[in-house]
Structure 1
Amino acid sequence: MAIEWIVLLSLAGYAALIDFRKHRIPNSLVVLGIAAGLAGQVFGAGWSGLGTSAISAAIGFAIFIPLYALGGMAAGDVKLMAMVGTFMAPQQALLASLLALMAGGVGGLLLIAMHGQLRQTLIRYTVMLGTHRYLVPAKDEVAGKRFPYAIAILLGTLGSMLWFEFAR
Structure 2
Amino acid sequence: MLTAIEMILVCLVAQAALTDLTLRKIPNVLILSGLLLALILHSLAGQHGAVAQQWLAGAVTGLFVFLPLYLLRGMAAGDVKLLAMVGAFLGPLAALKVAALATLFGGMLALVMLLWTGRWRQAWRNVWTLCAPVCWRCLGVPMQAVPLPAVTSVGGIPYGLAIALATASTVLLAQR
TM-score by length of 2: 0.84
State the aligned residue count. 161
- 2:174 and 2:123 map into 1 onto residues whose CA distance is 36
Matches within 5 A, 1:68-83: 68-83=70-85
Q: Which runs of 5+ in 2 are unaligned?
A: 135-147
Give the AA of the match of 2:152. P
Deviation larger for 111-120 or 12-21: 111-120
- 1:117 and 1:88 map into 2 onto residues whose CA distance is 36
Measured after TM superposition, the shift of residue 115 of structure 1 is 2.5
CA deviation profile, 1:60-93 (whole Å, cap 9, x unmatched) = 1111101100001111111111001111132211
Give the AA of the match of 1:118. W
Measured after TM superposition, the shift of residue 45 of structure 1 is 2.3
Supply the RMSD in Å over aligned alpha carbons.
1.7
Measured after TM superposition, the shift of residue 29 of structure 1 is 0.7
Structure of higher CA gyration radius: 2
Match of 1:60 among 57, 62, 75: 62
**2:43–2:51: 8 Å Cα contact kept in structure 1?**
yes
Match of 2:167 among 139, 157, 161: 157
Query: Which residue matches 1:122?
Result: 124
TM-score by length of 1: 0.88
Q: Which stretches of structure 1, 4 residues or longer, exceed 6 Å deviation after superposition?
A: none
Going from structure 1 to structure 2, the CA distance change for 1:81 and 1:165 (only over 3 Å counts) comes to: same
- 1:158 and 1:112 map into 2 onto residues whose CA distance is 25
Matches within 5 A, 1:1-168: 2-47=3-48, 48-131=50-133, 133=148, 135-137=150-152, 143=154, 145-166=155-176
CA deviation profile, 1:124-160 (whole Å, cap 9, x unmatched) = 202211247363326xxxx2x2321110110110111
Q: Which runs of 5+ in 1 are unaligned?
A: none
**1:92–1:164: 8 Å Cα contact kept in structure 2?**
no
Identity %: 32
